[in-house]
Copies of this chain bind each other. A is one copy, B any other.
Amino acid sequence: MEKSLNELAKLVNGDVIGDGSVLIKGVAGIEDAVSGQITFISNPKYTRLIYKTEASAVIASPDILQSLKDRNILCAKNPYLAFAKILEYFTPKPTLYQGIHPKAEVHPNTVIDASVSIYSHVYIEEGARIGSGVVLYPGVYIGRDVFVGDDTVIYSNVSVRERCRIGSRVIIHCNSVIGSDGFGFAKEGVKLYKIPQTGVVRIENDVEIGACVTIDRATLGETVIKRGTKIDNLVQIAHNVVIGEDSVIVAQVGISGSTRIGDRVTLAGQVGVAGHIEIGNDITIGAKSGVTHDLPAKGIFSGMPAIPHREWLKAVNIFAKLPELRKKILELENKIKELEGKETREVL
């Protein structure tokens, strides 16, 4: 696979500055790239590296570009997107097993498209329906009546429990769990009585789910991950949660039961969200924050409990100086005592 810089520029609607006829065979990071490769810069912080790279061309945005000379540049408005598309172009498709491996165990009463790749040690229970082009890697468990849409890829050792519905072009990374029981108990005296978790998980099209993620089924009804949302590794999503479209849930986030998250929301790493609350559209929560109440309006929030990010930044800045602040208060106290003493002496 080899393409000229001009051809790559066409692929991503970009412009070439320099020699567009240079041939590109692959993509590499700016420090590792060699001749024949294209590399990428988006963060102006790393602009100086452009003069050190051995890459034959660099993807860059118009604003970075002005400082560049004597380089072959693929100039793109959204260089990160151009990079993604060019990298995709050069990434070979994996060679897949065709059909159902004899060491897989598939219930006869299932509907499985002929174009699937079902590896050894996969288990598919009665009533499951598996769409065209689906890849189920070794050790995947598909429970009763599960639906998996077209071109979805489920990596090794993922468990999908009964009746869950996975959309098309979904990616689920290794060892994740879809449809485990929600964590619900009623107190019977001091004992905890299990509330049956009879609902499902529904994952819409184009969702990506990381490794070792747990998404619990609803008690009644559905836990829902809407179209295009991306979930990182080790995330916990409790029963009856609904996450909107095109949201980004970073690693180790936990979302408690029945909470609703809007569209285009970003929850940064290790965020926790309380149960039965709502986070509106276009909200970003800073890393390690805890959201304890509804957040309806657009904005960035941080801290535990989460407050507007700018306020949190100011408060946290003073937090580190609390010892100084206390010292100052004690000084003021002493000065006031002194002033009061003088007054008393005056009165005397």
What is A's interface to B at a CB cutoff of 8 Å? 27-29, 32, 78, 80-81, 83-85, 87-88, 91, 94-95, 101, 103, 105, 119-121, 123, 126, 137-139, 141, 144, 155-157, 159, 161-162, 171, 173-177, 180-181, 183-188, 190-196, 198, 208, 210-212, 214, 216, 219-221, 228, 230, 232-234, 236, 238, 246, 248, 250-252, 254, 256, 263-264, 269-270, 272, 274, 287-288, 290, 292, 303-305, 307, 311-312, 314-316, 318-323, 325-326, 328-329, 332-333, 335-336, 339-340, 342-343
- The interface residues of chain B lying within 8 Å CB-to-CB of A248 are 185, 192
A220-B32, A233-B180, A269-B254 as given contacts; A187 in contact with B314, CB under 8 Å = no
Specify which of A175, A192, A233, A314 lies most central, judged by the most chain B CB atoms within 10 Å of its CB: A233
A194 to B157, CA, bound (A): 22
In angstroms, Cα B176 to Cα A302, docked, is: 31
Query: In the complex, what's the smallest C-beta–C-beta distance from A118 to chain B, in angstroms?
Result: 12
A246, A254, A316, most chain B CB atoms within 10 A: A254
Which of A121, A228, A305, A328 has the most chain B CB atoms inside 10 A of its CB?
A: A121
| Stoichiometry, copies per complex | 3
Contact B211 A84 (CB under 8 A): no
Known pairs A175-B176, A183-B230 / 13 extra A-B pairs, C-beta < 8 Å: A29-B220, A155-B159, A157-B159, A175-B212, A180-B210, A191-B246, A192-B246, A192-B248, A214-B251, A252-B272, A288-B290, A314-B322, A336-B339
Q: Are A191 and B94 in contact (CB under 8 A)?
A: no
- Contacts A157-B157, A318-B322, A343-B342; A198 near B87 (Cβ below 8 A): yes
Q: Are the C-beta atoms of A288 and B304 separated by less than 8 Å?
A: yes
Q: Which residue of B lies closest to A169 (CB)?
A: B194
| B236 in contact with A256 (CB, 8 Å) | no
A132 to chain B, nearest CB (A): 20
Q: Which residues of the partner chain B approach A343 to less than 8 Å between Cβ atoms?
A: 339, 342
Docked Cα-Cα span, A32 to B219, in Å, equals: 13
Question: Which of chain B's residues has its CB closest to A337's CB?
Answer: B335
| A233 neighbours in B (Cβ, 8 Å) | 177, 180, 183, 214, 216, 236
Contact A105 B121 (CB under 8 A): yes
Decide: A329 and B336 in contact? CB cutoff 8 A.
no
Q: Which of A263, A274, A304 has the most chain B CB atoms closer than 10 A to its own CB? A: A304
